[in-house]
Structure 1
């Protein structure tokens, strides 16, 4: 009986992935990401502050020494509310970024597979090159859509009345931040650092889903694990660690460019050069512990919940659109 149920669940999952609409994929991806970010937002906040401390200084005191100690310091000074700064901006950003990244990945991959492998079923083809390109492309779409929200989120999370790290910009909320930036800098200001966002998100997205799919297929093909929640959890963990390693340097650069009010950095490459020159190469991995602490559970929850939200959205679409 349990074997039959497992096969049935597997067939539902496969059918959902194949027949769900692009809008449905967007909704499923965004919903899964929002569930994940609710848990990981405090870690994101401390990561940003760790990446900013010691900026453009070869020997600066470290107020935030590690993720746990850092969150304890924030909680002591700013309370639970302080740990969830920027959460509303994070929700909207996740819908734009991950809804696009997870929602457009499969359609882009399938289209490219149909183009380059016309004699094979597009959903079965696993080309590393196509998977990487599809991940990067879908991530870049999300980065462009979500950039203004990530900008406001970064500034909301870096601001503190108690411990001032980096340049401080005070907004009363998401809308206030967007309006303030638009009034002072125009549309261009809302998309400050978009080039850095593309590099960061493209790097992370190019490996997230490909590593997840590769790990999942490897474990199944070699009879190491059977399809189910445990497999999804393991593949998600491997994917999260890979994303953290690849993305952290670009994440440091993005955080610093978004947080600046003036023109300390002319662009991502200028920021990269100045950071390495003054703080050393290791500065590119500031906040790495927090990055792993955040990205691993975030990726695990996001991709694991994605399997379930895809089924949920497919179920709803089946009733509304009459899928077979």
Structure 2
């Protein structure tokens, strides 16, 4: 099997394994980011006060199964998005495009390669993120936040969106999502690589220790929460908004910058970090699981088939 195909499959499999554990946190994060939409702090009812209260509230009114809302599209979306993202990044690394003229790994080139992987992954998987978000926001009217869609399932939902808006409707909000993934992928993978190289170079852990990818993943998760949360809030808002039946335009936002401006004016800077704690609880374990699973799967595959590992995690990234 071609190495490129292997890398795409390994990245997708690692992500699918991770999402089985983190999807309930994604549901909670989505509800937090829609709570108090376009309303100033303190002027709306807070159905979800913190992560643990959100779990209790959703379980009470929507049922425990609601904590896994949108799981099927989440699995497919995560496998495609991360498989494409990590696979594209690894292929660029294997082609030597992250190295400078001296043959050393370049930090700017690594960031660009990670961002490129994130862009391609977001572009391909956007319809799945759309239906996943809308399913995860559906709730009992007592605790409803954001626009409430009435999908009975993810396939029915995708069909309905296509019938009402065509191909363009399926890719509504893709601009916000690509920006989100470029920033998220660049910050996540770069932080992971730099931390892992530092731990390896300083011999803080033995070379084969699982503490290396786990510790590196924890640092990467902190980076992604800081840098991607504002754009994540914007993406969730755009993907979940209702659509005018006559014009096909969003009811609240015309696009990324219009959404950002309205959040700034009506909710203030704090609006961009709504649900940051839920984002941390979601991004931290998912980052750790995806990158750790990916590292383990790569090592296992190349060791089993007797091929030299060309994983990005073995590269040392230095400034140009």
**TM-score for both structures, normalised by structure 2:** 0.89
Partner of residue 213, structure 1: 193
1:174 Cα shift?
1.5
1:20 Cα shift?
6.9
User: 1:180-232, CA deviations, whole angstroms, 9 ceiling, x for partnerless residues?
Assistant: 00000000000000000011111100111111011011111122222220111
1:113 is paired with a residue whose SS is coil
1:177 Cα shift?
1.1
1:225 is paired with a residue whose SS is coil
The reply to whether residue 65 of structure 1 matches residue 44 of structure 2 is no
Contact 1:24 1:314 in 2 (8 A): no
Contact 1:233 1:300 in 2 (8 A): yes
* Structure-to-structure mapping, 1:240-319, within 5 angstroms: 240-262=221-243, 263=250, 264-314=252-302, 318=305
CA RMSD of aligned residues (A): 1.7
The reply to whether residue 173 of structure 1 matches residue 153 of structure 2 is yes
Q: Structure 2: where are the runs of 5+ without partners? A: 244-249, 309-320
Contact 2:98 2:106 in 1 (8 A): no
1:115 Cα shift?
7.2
1:130 Cα shift?
0.7
Partner of residue 189, structure 1: 169
User: What is the rounded CA distance, in whole Å, between the counterparts of 2:170 and 2:283 in structure 1?
Assistant: 25
Partner of residue 146, structure 1: 125
The reply to whether residue 90 of structure 1 matches residue 74 of structure 2 is yes
Contact 1:20 1:314 in 2 (8 A): no
Q: 1:57 to 1:70 in 2, by over 3 A?
A: same
User: What is the rounded CA distance, in whole Å, between the counterparts of 2:108 and 2:155 in structure 1?
Assistant: 40
1:114 Cα shift?
7.1
Partner of residue 136, structure 1: 115
User: What is the rounded CA distance, in whole Å, between the counterparts of 1:112 and 1:248 in structure 2?
Assistant: 31
Q: 1:323 to 1:128 in 2, by over 3 A?
A: closer
1:265 is paired with a residue whose SS is coil
1:110 Cα shift?
3.7
Q: 1:290 to 1:115 in 2, by over 3 A?
A: closer
1:172 is paired with a residue whose SS is coil
User: What is the rounded CA distance, in whole Å, between the counterparts of 1:20 and 1:61 in structure 2?
Assistant: 54
1:278 Cα shift?
0.4
User: What is the rounded CA distance, in whole Å, between the counterparts of 1:106 and 1:36 in structure 2?
Assistant: 19
Partner of residue 231, structure 1: 212
Partner of residue 75, structure 1: 59
Contact 2:98 2:113 in 1 (8 A): no
User: What is the rounded CA distance, in whole Å, between the counterparts of 1:294 and 1:115 in structure 2?
Assistant: 32
Please identify, of 289-298 and 161-170, the stretch whose mean Cα deviation from structure 2 is larger: 161-170
Partner of residue 101, structure 1: 85
Equivalent residue pairs, number = 297
**TM-score for both structures, normalised by structure 1:** 0.88
Contact 2:55 2:67 in 1 (8 A): yes
The reply to whether residue 204 of structure 1 matches residue 184 of structure 2 is yes
Please identify, of 24-33 and 217-226, the stretch whose mean Cα deviation from structure 2 is larger: 217-226
1:113 Cα shift?
3.2
Partner of residue 156, structure 1: 135
1:95 Cα shift?
1.1
